[in-house]
């Protein structure tokens, strides 16, 4: 996250390894940036996503949707915002907006749904109370569009 930003967006540069043969960001690589933005956004409200999604942990990503509106090139600087879109006792969904920094233009968007893993007995498990209490802090995080 960029600590100077009131919107608390995640900033990065498009990495060479995530580009296709034409030097453009592959759509699948958008998911990587969304995951990084999710981890940073959750850390900004004192939630450790890695601990929650560790193998055997109580949380997992179960659905991902990505839409790329414009090609990005190697080394383009981007901003990715994450905000809470939906919250239920056993799951939550984060929405993402990716902007090309130099143009302040929306280039991609997506959603990731996180669900509580079932208990070892197969019973539905609710998300931890501290997680449910902190998630609403992410509702206001958006990036400016032009």
Identify the burial level of 139 via C-beta atoms within 10 angstroms of its C-beta, where 0-12 means exposed, 13-18 middle and 19 or more buried. exposed
Q: Does residue 33 fall inside a structural domain?
A: yes
What HEC string does 107-127 produce?
EEEEEEEEEECCCCCCCCCCC
Domain that holds residue 105: 10-138
Give the CATH number of the domain where residue 22 resides.
3.10.129.10
| Cα-Cα-Cα-Cα dihedral sign, residues 33, 39, 40, 45 | positive
Q: Does residue 3 fall inside a structural domain?
A: no
Cα 60 to Cα 80: distance, rounded to the nearest angstrom: 21
- Tens of pLDDT along 76-94? 999 999 999 999 988 999 9
**Number of residues in the chain:** 146
Provide the whole-model pTM. Answer: 0.81
- Tens of pLDDT along 7-61? 467 999 999 998 888 888 888 888 889 989 988 888 888 887 666 666 556 777 7
Cα 37 to Cα 30: distance, rounded to the nearest angstrom: 11
Cα 99 to Cα 95: distance, rounded to the nearest angstrom: 14
Q: Does residue 78 fall inside a structural domain?
A: yes
Domain count, the chain: 1
């Amino acid at each position: 996250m960029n600590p100077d930003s009131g919107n608390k967006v995640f900033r990065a540069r498009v990495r060479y390894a995530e580009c296709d043969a034409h030097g453009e960001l592959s759509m699948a690589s958008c998911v990587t940036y969304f995951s990084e933005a999710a981890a940073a956004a959750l850390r900004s409200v004192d939630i450790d996503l890695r601990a929650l999604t560790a193998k055997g942990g109580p949380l997992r990503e179960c659905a991902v949707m990505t839409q790329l509106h414009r090609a990005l090139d190697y080394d383009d600087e981007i901003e990715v915002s994450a905000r809470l879109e939906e919250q239920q006792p056993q799951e939550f969904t984060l929405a993402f907006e990716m902007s090309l920094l130099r143009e302040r233009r929306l280039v991609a968007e997506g959603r990731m749904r996180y669900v509580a893993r079932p208990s070892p007995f197969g019973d539905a498990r609710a998300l931890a109370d501290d997680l449910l209490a902190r998630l609403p802090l992410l509702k206001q995080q958006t990036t400016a569009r032009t």
